[in-house]
Structure 1
Amino acid sequence: MQLSDAVTNLPGVGAKRAESLQSLGITTIEQLLTHYPFRYEDIKARALTEIQDQEKVTLRGIVVSPAVLSRFGYKKSRLQFRMMQEHDVFQVSFFNQPFLKEKIILSEEIAVYGKWDAKKKSLTGMKILSSGQQEEFAPIYHVNKSIRQTTLIQLIKAALEKYGDWIEENLPQSLLQKYRLLSRKEAIYAMHFPKDMQAHHQAKRRIIFEEFFIFQMQIQGLKYAEKSEKHGLMLAYDNDKLKAFIAQLPFELTAAQKRVTNEICRDMLSKKHMQRLLQGDVGSGKTVVAAICMYAAVTAGFQSALMVPTEILAQQHYQSLQQLFANTPVKIALLTGSTKAKEREQLLPQLKAGEIDIIVGTHALIQDEVDFSHLGLVITDEQHRFGVNQRKILREKGWRPDVLFMTATPIPRTLAITAYGEMDVSIIDELPAGRIPIETRWVLPKQLTATLDWAKSELAKGHQMYVICPLIEESEALDVENALKIYHELSQFYDPTYQVGLLHGRMKNAEKEAIMQQFKEKELQILVSTTVIEVGVNVPNATIMLIIDADRFGLAQLHQLRGRVGRGSQASYCILLANPKNEMGKERMKIMTETNNGFVLSEKDLALRGPGEVFGQRQSGIPLFGFADIVNDAHILEVAQQEAQAIWQINDWQVLPEYAPIQAYINAVQPNERFFD
């Protein structure tokens, strides 16, 4: 017997019931035993004198009147009888549970769980508890139409009875002792049927740690395999040339830029395969760091690829790199969906022959016909916007090139540990000198006219303004309609002094490019846009970011949008126009006006909205845990990560007896099955 046995090994589980269990994701004994309750009901019997109106309680007493069943309507019924506790008599009613009548026997003691109505002195019953039931807490499980709570509880009891002695420990004894954790067997029992809330708390601690620890052991295993020396390229760059390149840059690198550049270059120089995540707040100078690293790769005789999510961003990076490499022989090319066929026909053979050193592009870079001569470094920007497979295809264009992921979306520590746990992380945590912090104001819709009037004073200085329209999830057509409406209103308001442009998701790429170009060249003073300008667009002359219905955006997105201004040396402003209807919306507006620090914001966003909302669950790469919660249990996650790292640093830990249980368990539970996409 083992926990991987099918649930059909339990008495009373035939094909139909097995199908019902499968709809809950339960096919084995292990899955049944780890289908934990999401809450517990307090079912210990109470005295009438100590209960409140509308409270859910268990009342124990003697049945003092026969049960009367009344039927009304289709399949509707009411079962009524009277109970006595001490000298108090009260009415009990059960709705639509006629089968309970035979359990109600005159003059016998009974315990009923239900909702108390103090005015009517009556109890609306939910269930009758068995007379010998001594537990103080009843587990409540996630179930569906196919299976009832009572059935699930009976099956879990049967599984514990039959398989309880076969529950094996999967954590090292040293960790059980260090953190005073229950054994796995004790924890599983106490998760389902705790004798008190303290026992339940200890069981929870154990199960949360176990989930995080197993995940981290798998993640650290991936990291260890990725970084092993036999798996990597050594990019032996020319240090003197690299220093000369940095020295001729038109600005001094910040201390943070120097630190992360050293971390990345150290990885490139080693034989180990690099997988590094570069986080930097909006405007912190990640592009310059990427340029230095790509130049290092060129001096080592390798090509680099920079993949970005939008054509506008690709164009911008291409122009920035051309300026940075103007005094070098480095050959740069741009490849997007809009690259003309003739240009493409010239470019692809050059890339394959190694005549192009650096190529910047969108996902056009991962098409089959794109071949490299000697790809050594792959950089993806705003990397969570690409699927796992897209990033993988680009990596496979070379022989295990070093990989650098960049993001301006500050990632909370707990998400970095889970979604990017197999990577090393570098953080640029300071802005270039001379940047004036952006002033953020929250205004109500009735103040819009006054705000637009105030904006005239900035426009009069020759500055420019973004106006962002909210995304209406139901329909892209509504987004466009909304943006058009605001565009016409502002065109009238500022006519004829200032020109207004419009940018939205339904425009062709060439149209978007043309509008952005006009805005960059100051032919347009105001740009009305849906969030297509969110990432990376650089117009240093823009000093106002007005976000309409700002409460519709998450904190990370608002911060991204705010980062489109304040890119020059002038004072800049972010105006949040919003009238939030709930407390969370008000809290988001308040937080935005209090801090410009993206990392502080990202932590608060995670606490307010949860991981799935922050990144969008589907492409976030955030693992789904059965019971643990990466927000509320973050401290346990960090401890689990440290312990897993320590074990993977022990030579041949897999053959040591202490780690045999965890090794066996990881081998039995395939990574794809539990956490990975």
Structure 2
Amino acid sequence: FESFTKRFKNFPITIKKLSRNTSLKVKETLYSNFKEKKIDILIGTHALFNENLSFNNVGLLVVDEEHRFGAKQKNLIKNKQLSTHILYMSATPIPKTMNMAFSGLKDFSFLSTPPPKRLSIKTFLEVSNNTIIKESLTREFNRNGCSFVIENDIQKMDKIKNNLQALVPNQKIDVVHASLNKKLIDKRLNDFRERKINILICTTIVEMGLDIPEANTIIINNAHNFGLSQLHQLRGRIGRSSKQGYCYVLIPSSDINNKSKSRLQSFVNNSHLGAGFNIAHEDLEIRGAGEILGVKQSGHIDTIGMSLYMSMLKTALNNDQIEKSSSCEIKISITSLIPEYYLPSPLERLKIYKKLSDADTETLSEIKVDLLDRCGKHPEELENLFKIAEISIKAKYLEITKIIQSSKHIKFKFSESLKDKTLSKILSITKESPEMYEIKKNGELWINYNDQDVLNLLDNAIKKFT
């Protein structure tokens, strides 16, 4: 609110704010003024999602820290005013949002350029011990900074405070959690900002909205109990100046389950600036994509994998348009893929696969040139993928719906709208070479490939049908 007020001070724009701490009388005035278009920009918390606020005049809804809102809350305004433009913002988008972006239901862009002079935060995974805690807190104190200690169990906070006072007796330590009075929370946060408090023991209440450049060390206790996105958001509370930030994720022992280990290792590995998108992508793989039409914002897809899931999703989305935009499904026993050593980024490989699934001849040529320019000479597996994509494009125009390889034959299935001209050519070819081509009772065409190169055989067959 303060940033908006400052930036628009020279413009005739009325800006107001609404939160749970706004008095009932002020709220009623805000509702009335917003409905009568006397307020241009209304900034608020979850308090904005209520039945008393009229959304008829809302042209743009910006949802910052989108991962903190439920699907029902986000849909409330959208359902009331379908013409509203919506911009979701998050350092770590939830799986459902990532899924909708990858499937083309939402446009997305990401910022990978950090503010000037920012440094990547050094992240360490350690078994909890007093030596590490003392060294990290002392180092931050000696360079005139302050430190966060995250503990989500309020009952343990006093014990942790006593332990820290024994370790670093020369530092001022205090506690912040949601059960405290709001004024007391604000006072302690301001004291922390002004370095009157050196160490702040807190819950995930500090996960969002805090910008304290003086804080450059964070210790996250029992880190195995946190999700990837939550850890990344907590780490984002430090390193907001030109000083080096240090993040310590502590676990009670090395004997934690493999899923937690994998999650924490991924968090440590993705500590570079702009890593939020990578973390969100891994979160999508771990937790699943959620329901596009439901309210679940995550759900398991690990049994089939992300790529196959996206393919299935695309098929489902286009199911009512099969007649308009048919495609040819090709199943042959040939290795055809984008090798990881050739294009290491999973996200970039996924983008190429998605482009290929929709490609026409011109787009396919562009993809070939682009990859040649970016990654060098195409490996054999990629050349196979391009050949299959090319055959699929040609087959689609011939109304061929499936090409399947069995142990001795290649089977062609045709759509009901097969053109007479194509059918005549197929019948003619079958009569000329009955030992190689055979039409079955179900309308399928079988080709006996006799250990020939399958891709070349397919390409020649398609040319004969054309």
Decide which of 626, 636, 645 is 2:308's aligned counterpart: 636
1:544 aligned onto 2:217? yes
**Could you report, residue by residue, the CA deviation over 1:412-462 in whole angstroms, capped at 9, with x for unpaired residues?**
69952499863222222332332100011223223x234323422322322
> How do 1:368-517 and structure 2 match up within 5 A?
368-371=51-54, 374-396=57-79, 398=81, 400-411=83-94, 416-417=99-100, 422-446=105-129, 448-469=130-151, 471=152, 479-495=153-169, 497-517=170-190
Q: CA deviation at 1:355?
A: 1.9
**Could you report, residue by residue, the CA deviation over 1:64-87 in whole angstroms, capped at 9, with x for unpaired residues?**
xxxxxxxxxxxxxxxxxxxxxxxx
Aligned to 1:581, what secondary structure does the other structure show?
A: coil
Q: Percent identity?
A: 28
CA contact (8 A) 1:354 1:374 kept: yes
Change (3 A) 1:644 1:489: same
Decide which of 567, 580, 600 is 2:278's aligned counterpart: 600
Measure, in 1, the Cα distance between the counterparts of 2:97 and 2:76: 27
> How do 1:160-199 and structure 2 match up within 5 A?
none
Matched AA of 1:593: V
Change (3 A) 1:449 1:398: same
> How do 1:511-530 and structure 2 match up within 5 A?
511-530=184-203
**Could you report, residue by residue, the CA deviation over 1:547-593 in whole angstroms, capped at 9, with x for unpaired residues?**
11222223222222111111111111101222231344444443333
Matched AA of 1:599: F
Aligned to 1:467, what secondary structure does the other structure show?
A: strand
Q: CA deviation at 1:410?
A: 4.1
Measure, in 2, the Cα distance between the counterparts of 1:403 and 1:483: 40
> How do 1:199-348 and structure 2 match up within 5 A?
318-348=1-31
Aligned to 2:248, what secondary structure does the other structure show?
A: strand
Partner of 2:297: 621
Change (3 A) 1:658 1:590: closer
CA contact (8 A) 1:415 1:611 kept: no
CA contact (8 A) 1:440 1:573 kept: yes
Aligned to 2:110, what secondary structure does the other structure show?
A: strand
Structure 1 length-normalised TM: 0.43
Measure, in 1, the Cα distance between the counterparts of 2:298 and 2:224: 25
Partner of 1:73: none
Change (3 A) 1:558 1:525: same
Decide which of 341, 353, 360 is 2:36's aligned counterpart: 353
Decide which of 595, 611, 614 is 2:288's aligned counterpart: 611
Change (3 A) 1:642 1:413: same
Q: CA deviation at 1:651?
A: 9.7
Partner of 1:559: 232
Measure, in 1, the Cα distance between the counterparts of 2:243 and 2:303: 38
Choose 1 or 2 for highest CA Rg: 1
CA contact (8 A) 1:365 1:394 kept: no
Measure, in 2, the Cα distance between the counterparts of 1:531 and 1:337: 19
Change (3 A) 1:433 1:416: farther
Aligned to 2:72, what secondary structure does the other structure show?
A: helix
Aligned to 1:424, what secondary structure does the other structure show?
A: coil
CA contact (8 A) 1:412 1:599 kept: no
**Could you report, residue by residue, the CA deviation over 1:81-134 in whole angstroms, capped at 9, with x for unpaired residues?**
xxxxxxxxxxxxxxxxxxxxxxxxxxxxxxxxxxxxxxxxxxxxxxxxxxxxxx
1:580 aligned onto 2:249? no
Measure, in 1, the Cα distance between the counterparts of 2:264 and 2:302: 24
Matched AA of 2:84: P
CA contact (8 A) 1:499 1:524 kept: yes
CA contact (8 A) 1:418 1:622 kept: no
**Could you report, residue by residue, the CA deviation over 1:219-254 in whole angstroms, capped at 9, with x for unpaired residues?**
xxxxxxxxxxxxxxxxxxxxxxxxxxxxxxxxxxxx
CA contact (8 A) 2:127 2:254 kept: no
Aligned to 1:455, what secondary structure does the other structure show?
A: helix
Q: CA deviation at 1:653?
A: 6.7
CA contact (8 A) 1:467 1:546 kept: yes
Q: CA deviation at 1:399?
A: 5.8
Measure, in 1, the Cα distance between the counterparts of 2:194 and 2:110: 33
Partner of 1:590: 265
Q: CA deviation at 1:621?
A: 2.8
CA contact (8 A) 2:191 2:197 kept: yes
Q: CA deviation at 1:334?
A: 0.9
**Could you report, residue by residue, the CA deviation over 1:381-436 in whole angstroms, capped at 9, with x for unpaired residues?**
23343333322322355462111222222456995249986322222233233210
Q: CA deviation at 1:373?
A: 6.6
Change (3 A) 1:330 1:518: farther
Aligned to 1:428, what secondary structure does the other structure show?
A: coil
Q: CA deviation at 1:349?
A: 2.7
Change (3 A) 1:375 1:554: closer
Matched AA of 2:202: S
CA contact (8 A) 2:218 2:246 kept: yes
Matched AA of 1:490: L
CA contact (8 A) 1:503 1:515 kept: yes
Measure, in 2, the Cα distance between the counterparts of 1:414 and 1:368: 25
Q: CA deviation at 1:361?
A: 1.1
CA contact (8 A) 1:466 1:546 kept: yes
Change (3 A) 1:378 1:651: farther
CA contact (8 A) 2:71 2:296 kept: no
Change (3 A) 1:372 1:517: farther
CA contact (8 A) 2:217 2:246 kept: yes
Matched AA of 1:391: K
Change (3 A) 1:589 1:651: closer
Gaps of 5+ in 1: 1-317, 472-478, 662-677
> How do 1:45-60 and structure 2 match up within 5 A?
none
> How do 1:70-219 and structure 2 match up within 5 A?
none
Matched AA of 2:268: T
Matched AA of 1:595: N
Change (3 A) 1:591 1:636: closer
Q: CA deviation at 1:509?
A: 3.7
CA contact (8 A) 1:555 1:592 kept: yes
CA contact (8 A) 1:385 1:619 kept: no
**Could you report, residue by residue, the CA deviation over 1:261-291 in whole angstroms, capped at 9, with x for unpaired residues?**
xxxxxxxxxxxxxxxxxxxxxxxxxxxxxxx
Q: Which moved more, 1:457-466 or 1:340-349?
A: 340-349
